[in-house]
Structure 1
Amino acid sequence: MYRSKATQKLNNIAYALIIGGALGNLFDRLWHGFVVDMIDFYVGDWHFATFNLADSAICIGAALIVLEGFLPKPTVKEQA
């Protein structure tokens, strides 16, 4: 991934997040029987949200792939 062209970096990061999140969930399911990487957010006595880190990585990776579809494609310079 680190040897890829600069135009492919965002795509590589996105796929790394998706694969890493999937492997993290798979490991938790096989090892513990359930997912353990949760973060709870509290604001005072109000419970805001609970996030699974692996699922968050998968969602961020998918969002990066969608974002890349909207970015302009780099032009290829022709060599004479």
Structure 2
Amino acid sequence: MPAFAVDPGLILFLFNAVAVWPLMRIFRRAGFSPWWALVIFVPVIGLVAVLGFLTFRRWPARIAVDPPAPTRKARRTA
């Protein structure tokens, strides 16, 4: 193995370590606990889990800003 080869696991760890700080800020601004950003360190599914969490959850910080959804009338059946 050449002397300049770097372990891919080390590169992934460094990428995750750099990504934790911005993710903590995003979670804090979204109204979630910033500690959710540490899920990124779970191998293989960490980044997908964090991005899925931010994408598909309703942000508590937006609930106060958005008006409530209009209620639909019940459909009458004969």
The answer to whether TM tops 0.5 is: no
Normalization by structure 1: what TM-score?
Answer: 0.33
Answer 1 or 2: which has greater strand percent.
1
